[in-house]
Chains A and B, each alone.
Chain A
Amino acid sequence: MSNPRPKLVMIGNGMAGMRAVEEILSRDADAFDISVYGAEPAVNYNRIMLSPVLAGEKRFDEIILNDRDWYDRNGVTLHAGVRVATIDRNAKCVVPADGQPEAYDRLIIATGSEPFVIPVPGRDLDGVRTFRDMDDVNAMLEATNRYRNAVVIGGGLLGLEAASGLRQRGMTVTVVHLMDVLMERQLDEAAGFLLKRELEGRGITVLTGANTKELLGNGRVGAVRLEDGREIPAELVVMAAGIRPSTALARDAGLEVERGIVVDDHLRTSDPHISAVGECVQHRGQTYGLVAPLFEMGKVLADQLTGHADTVYEGSVANTKLKVSGVDVFSLGDFAGGGDTEDIVFRDAARGVYKRVVLQDDRVRGAVLYGDTADGAWYVQLLKDGTDISSYRDTLIFGRACTEGRPRDPRAAVADLADEAEICGCNGVCKGEIVSAIAAKGLSSVQEVRTHTKASSSCGSCTGLVEQLLSLTLGGDYAPAEVQSMCGCTGHGHDDVRRLIVAKGLTSIPEVMQELEWTTATGCPSCRPALNYYLLCANPGTYRDDAQSRFINERAHANIQKNGTYSVVPRMWGGLTNAAELRAIADVVDKFAIPTVKVTGGQRIDLLGVRKEDLPAVWADLSQAGLVSGHAYGKAVRTVKTCVGQEWCRFGTQRSMDMGVQIEKLCWGSWTPHKVKMAVSGCPRNCAEATIKDFGVVAVDSGWELHVGGNGGITVRVTDLLCKVETQEEVLEYCGAFLQLYREHARYLERTAPWVERVGLEFVKARIVEDADSRRALFTRFLESQEHAQTDPWRQRAEDDVDAHEFTPLAVVA
């Protein structure tokens, strides 16, 4: 680089200054050589999150925005804990209180603001603090350990957050507020009243219209005396009576300063080499104490300094949210009312909701929301855009969802459920029990619901629904964890959809899409097959399978190949065949000129390259020899691989071929979340490789070991040992029960291996091994389902012309 880069000095290591630096770096990382001076020794942290730190909801390290490493990585020099004493505009340099002067080409002042300490006697006593930085928070936290009484002077945003935090830390807290309405700059009387009542309900004493006269104490503060003579004990006094832009440095440097450092729309001060951002500035007569405007200024300034001089700052619309957990308060713009403004007001006393939107010329000018702030951002947008709302004025107050007719709250499906609808299938817990437990016992987390009701405590698949019930019952107090939605057509996850199908008794894909508010008309290739399976599993025997929602292989009962032909794999029970079957296969191969015959890994024979139109005829010939579909094409029970076992092998301990045939006869035809492969080995030498199957049986001298959750695919997973049983009957019962558990609980396209890992082997054992009633119930349900599943689809198509349209052209053009 021929010329050194221009030097940019930033005074202030707070949110506004550092956001501006980040914005500059993101536009042009090499534009400046950057130095930052911060009076606080700490790195840059999120000052607005000090309240949650005070309340014990966050730790300091969680609110750090830029750690030391960030400064190093970005080549930004940080002088932490170094206060700039003067700015020498003639020499274009800054002079630290102790240190070398540093020259600048561009200077940015982001000194922020200072808390306003009301000038009353006793303000210098120990135990009198402001609420501005981490030092203040540490001092308050120390006081909470040693003292009992706190007074917060000032019932604005900051004061109330401090009061709430100190109360949560166990102190007796009184708020002393000069005005009649709390947060009078942000709230109107009605919302202020609701807020006061809420805080009093939390054990905070609120004195409005109260003027502090002096602070009493000897060394440390002991009480606050009001003008009317009342004395309130206080070993901690927090001054939160407002902030003042921090302007001394700028004033001393001769810059134009009124209430704040005066800047133009380019955020330039009266010296063109010096800009200012954040709470220290005064722009078009306004000063700002909220974070959003600071960020907007940062962007404009960064544009200016990196050569996009045409963007300008035109002021911000202030909107506020109170960060007191469980209190939803939102305010926006001008809500004083009067003149030619109009109010729309909505109240719901039972829910403690108050909403007021202020209009002027059919445009939003301001809003106050209490108890339900979900639409705050929407009103901000309407105000910013100056949107004419006359066409939906009727519904404006009810919010965006109502007005724009967007899909309802995703929780609506759960809200609509009857009280007796079952939420947790594992433990048989219905909606009413959960809701009343949340309300009666004051439960506020999934874990608490689990402890008190057992819902969601087993497989966890209803966790999403429990979260929604918490959210519905607790309102804004509860933020549900993110659930991975099934696909782009819905916000519901797989588990929620399955549970809701059962709870609401849904019986068809269009019904699911309607009731659960799918956002697409006919779903997509991801959700349709999943829904088809879930409905089939939930309604065995009555569900009308939707062929058009199945992948082509399951629709055509053969495997599509890369050239559009199909492959045909007849079932060979336990891997056994005979001369008649082999002869039939050989004849079919000749007759239809099938190009490839392959022995599969599942101990059967694959006929590859069959034309689709030939499939029914091929199947007809195979059926003649007693061969049926091997379901090699489906999310279904595939094969049961065996070794020759005791029947022939000199090491065999049990009749593994016979066991395999019996298992396959029991399970064939079952549709499952994903393919299922099984095996039976006749001794621990395990020649059938049973320990990498979904369900594997290994014979030992005294009986059979049952293994589950194995996989030989991309990620090889060895099975977990489920248990050992003695008889063939037990093997069959455990096998059917395991398959049914998998069928009812796994997500579509989830193999048993990841499923067992997700729900845990203990979950499976608890239902299959440790609880005989549960095992028998599962097995019974499996048998019921099998009654409707064990029809050979090949024979139906070969002899009964089922789905004939699938295998014949619509027309042939000569």
Chain B
Amino acid sequence: MITWIPVGHVDDIPRLGARVVKSPGGDIAVFRTEGDEIFALYDRCPHQGGPLSQGIVHGKAVACPLHNWTIDLTTGGVVGPDEGCTRVVPVTVTDGRIAIALDVEAEATGTDG
């Protein structure tokens, strides 16, 4: 069952930065762009599982800290010559409050991690 889970406020994340949400299905990276847009992705680079939350955010993309693959925040897809995709987590922002959509039961049992 999909549940919207409040995770914090836009101001909790630095501009052009990210924070991590710990969940039973794995870490989720929540990004904030220069224009205060919020995106969420599973915190694993499709290349070798690098923590995307630790990368440099630029435009609407993040560069993985391990090998500099660039991931599009809107799609989770790899930008450029490489291929791969990171799962996108739906996110909403209401009055600055961020909520992400998780399938809690699947998360808990790890069936859709």
Contacts from A to B (Cβ < 8 Å): 520-525, 528-529, 547-549, 551-552, 556, 560, 562, 564, 805, 809-814
Q: How far is the CB of A32 from chain B (nearest CB, A)?
A: 38
Q: How far is the CA of A556 from the CA of B6 in the complex (A)?
A: 26
- Number of residue pairs spanning A and B whose beta carbons lie under 8 angstroms apart: 84
When the two chains form their complex, are residues A552 and B65 in contact, meaning their CB atoms are under 8 A apart? Answer: yes
Shortest CB-to-CB span from B35 to chain A, Å, is: 8
Residues of A within 8 A of B13 (CB): 805, 810
**Pairwise interchain contact A809-B54, C-beta atoms closer than 8 A:** no
**Docked-complex contact A551 and B107, CB < 8 angstroms:** no
**Cα of A31 to Cα of B96 in the assembled complex, Å:** 68
Q: Among the listed B12, B14, B58, B102, which residue makes an inter-chain contact with A525, where contact means beta carbons less than 8 Å apart? A: B58
CA distance A528 to B8 in the complex (A): 28
Given A560-B65, A564-B50, A810-B30, also A548-B22 (CB < 8 A): no
Contacts of A805 in B (CB 8 A): 12-14, 19
Q: A525-B68, A552-B65, A564-B51 are in contact. Are A811 and B56 (CB under 8 A)?
A: no
Q: CA–CA, A726 to B70, complex, Å?
A: 52
Chain A residues whose C-beta falls within 8 Å of the C-beta of B66 in the assembled complex: 560, 562
Whether B21 sits at the interface, judged by CB under 8 Å, is yes
Q: How far is A411 from B51 in the complex, measured between Cα atoms in Å?
A: 40
Interface centre among B15, B34, B54, B63 (most CB of A within 10 A): B54
Q: A525-B63, A552-B55, A562-B48 are in contact. Are A813 and B17 (CB under 8 A)?
A: no
Query: Measured between alpha carbons, how far is A521 from B16 in the docked complex, in Å?
Result: 12
Q: If the complex has contacts A521-B34, A805-B19, are A813 and B59 also in contact, measured as CB distance less than 8 A?
A: no
Complex-state Cα separation, A585 to B104, whole angstroms: 41
Task: Name the A residues within 8 Å of B12 (CB-CB).
Answer: 805, 810
Q: Smallest CB-CB separation from A560: which chain B residue?
A: B65
Chain A residues within 8 Å of B104, by CB: 813
Q: Which of A522, A549, A552, A813 contacts B21 (CB 8 A)?
A: A813
Is chain A's binding surface mostly helix, strand, loop or mixed?
A: loop
Does A810 lie within 8 Å of B50, measured CB to CB? no
A548-B63 in contact (CB<8A): no
A548 in contact with B17 (CB, 8 Å): yes
B73-110 interface code vs A (CB 8 A; 1 in, 0 out): 00000000000000000000000000000101001000
Residues of B within 8 A of A814 (CB): 24
| Residues of A close to B107: CB separation below 8 A | 813
Closest to B68 in A: A525
Q: Is the CB of B21 within 8 A of A809?
A: yes
Given the known interface contacts A520-B59, A548-B15, A549-B56, the answer about A813 and B22 at a Cβ–Cβ threshold of 8 Å is yes
Complex Cα–Cα for A523 and B61 (A): 11
B residues near A549, Cβ cutoff 8 Å = 16, 56
Additional pairs, 20, CB under 8 Å, beyond known A522-B57, A810-B8, A813-B24: A522-B59, A525-B58, A528-B58, A529-B56, A547-B17, A549-B56, A551-B65, A552-B54, A552-B55, A560-B54, A560-B66, A564-B51, A805-B19, A809-B22, A810-B7, A810-B12, A810-B13, A810-B20, A811-B22, A813-B22
Q: How far is the CB of B70 from chain A (nearest CB, A)?
A: 8
Task: Flag if B55 contacts A809 (CB, 8 Å).
Answer: no
**Residue on B nearest A808 in the bound complex, by CB:** B19
Q: Is the CB of B54 within 8 A of A547?
A: no
A496 to B65, CA, bound (A): 28
Among A520, A521, A809, the most chain B Cβ lie within 10 Å of the Cβ of A809
Task: Name the B residues within 8 Å of A521 (CB-CB).
Answer: 34, 59
